[in-house]
Structure 1
Amino acid sequence: MSRMLYSVTMSLDGFIAGPGGDMSWLTPYLGPDPVVDGLIGEIGALLVGNRTFRGDDPHRGTDKEEKPFGGDWTGPQFILTHHIPDTPVPGVTFVGDLDGGVAAAKAAAGGKYVNILGADVARQCLAAGVLDEILVFVAPVMLGDGVRLFDHPGGTHVRLEHVDVARSPHATSVWFRVIG
């Protein structure tokens, strides 16, 4: 059975994108990472938020632009959006609701991870009780403002179980299992 994983790189002060969704801050922290390299082979499908899909790309201006994991991963992508475009995008399926997106991505993942990209989609999956694991790569930088890793006004207490921690030249990764 495929598991739902939210993997993301975050600044030390808790932001996954800068103001306005700026991802250029991430570029210096991209590079070889054994955790990422191992994860890529375990991903069967992506469930991506619309803002993430249409947003800024830390690989902008390179041959890796608009490719998941800089082109190191290929496979089915499911974009959660209320505005499905008229023109198809190769390798991409647009879905209008979370339940349908999760079901389609899990079916396509073939027992591997469904990797979630986008803070809002991850928050929705957590609220729906379908998020299984969280992998955060903490980059050695503070942004001061932007899109938070997890933002739920009024607060939500989420219990996590520690799975693993690793360090690379670019980030420290912390892996958790969602337990309630």
Structure 2
Amino acid sequence: MAKILYSVTMSLDGFIAGPGGDMSWLTPYLGPNELVDELIPQIGALLVGNRTYGGDDPHKGTEQEGEPFGGGWSGPQFVLTHRPPAVPRPGVTFVTDIGSALAQSAAAAGDKYVNVLGAETARQCLAAGGLDEVLVCIAPVLLGDGVRLFDRPGGTPVPLERISVSHTPLATNIWYRVVR
């Protein structure tokens, strides 16, 4: 059975994208990360928010642009959106509600991970009771503004249990399990 994992690189001050969704800040921190390299083959499907799907790319201007994990992963993608495009895109399923998105992506992933990309989509997964784990790779930079890891004003605390901590020259990785 698939697990739903929100994996993301975050600045030390809690931002996953800069102002306006700018991802160029991430480019210097895309170096080797053994934990991420081991995770990628364990991903069976992606569940992506529409802003993330159509947004900025840290690989902009390279042959890896537009490819999940810079071309290191391929497989079924599910994009959560209120406005699916009129023209289908190969390998991409557009879904309009979080319940369907979770069910379809989990079915496609089989016994692997569904990797969630996008802060709002991760928040919706959490609210729906579908988020199982969170992997945060903390980059040694302070962005000062942008898109937060989780933005839940007035939300209640969500207890997490640490699974592991590891370090690379470019990030500190902290993997958590959502406690239910």
Q: Is TM (by shorter chain) over 0.5?
A: yes
Deviations along 1:131-167, one digit per CA (max 9) or x if unpaired, are 0000000000000000000001113200000100001
Identity, in percent, stands at 68
Counterparts of residues 13-52 of structure 1 (less than 5 Å) = 13-52=13-52
Please report the RMSD computed on the Cα atoms of aligned residues, expressed in angstroms: 0.6
Residue in 2 aligned with 1:129? 129
For 1:128 and 1:96, locate their aligned partners in 2 and report how far apart those are by CA, in whole Å. Answer: 14
SS at match of 2:144: coil
After the TM superposition, which of the residue ranges 66-75 and 150-159 deviates more from structure 2?
A: 150-159
For 2:27 and 2:117, locate their aligned partners in 1 and report how far apart those are by CA, in whole Å. Answer: 17
TM-score normalised by L of structure 1: 0.99
For 2:156 and 2:57, locate their aligned partners in 1 and report how far apart those are by CA, in whole Å. Answer: 30
Letter matched to residue 66 of structure 1 = G
Deviations along 1:83-140, one digit per CA (max 9) or x if unpaired, are 0001111111101111111110000001100000000010011111110000000000
Residue in 2 aligned with 1:69? 69
For 1:44 and 1:69, locate their aligned partners in 2 and report how far apart those are by CA, in whole Å. Answer: 13
Is residue 175 of structure 2 the alignment partner of residue 169 of structure 1?
Answer: no
Is residue 103 of structure 2 the alignment partner of residue 139 of structure 1?
Answer: no
Letter matched to residue 88 of structure 1 = P
Q: CA deviation at 1:177?
A: 0.1
For 1:155 and 1:11, locate their aligned partners in 2 and report how far apart those are by CA, in whole Å. Answer: 22
Q: CA deviation at 1:170?
A: 1.2
For 1:156 and 1:14, locate their aligned partners in 2 and report how far apart those are by CA, in whole Å. Answer: 18
Residue in 2 aligned with 1:96? 96
Query: Structure 2: which 5+ runs fail to align?
Result: none
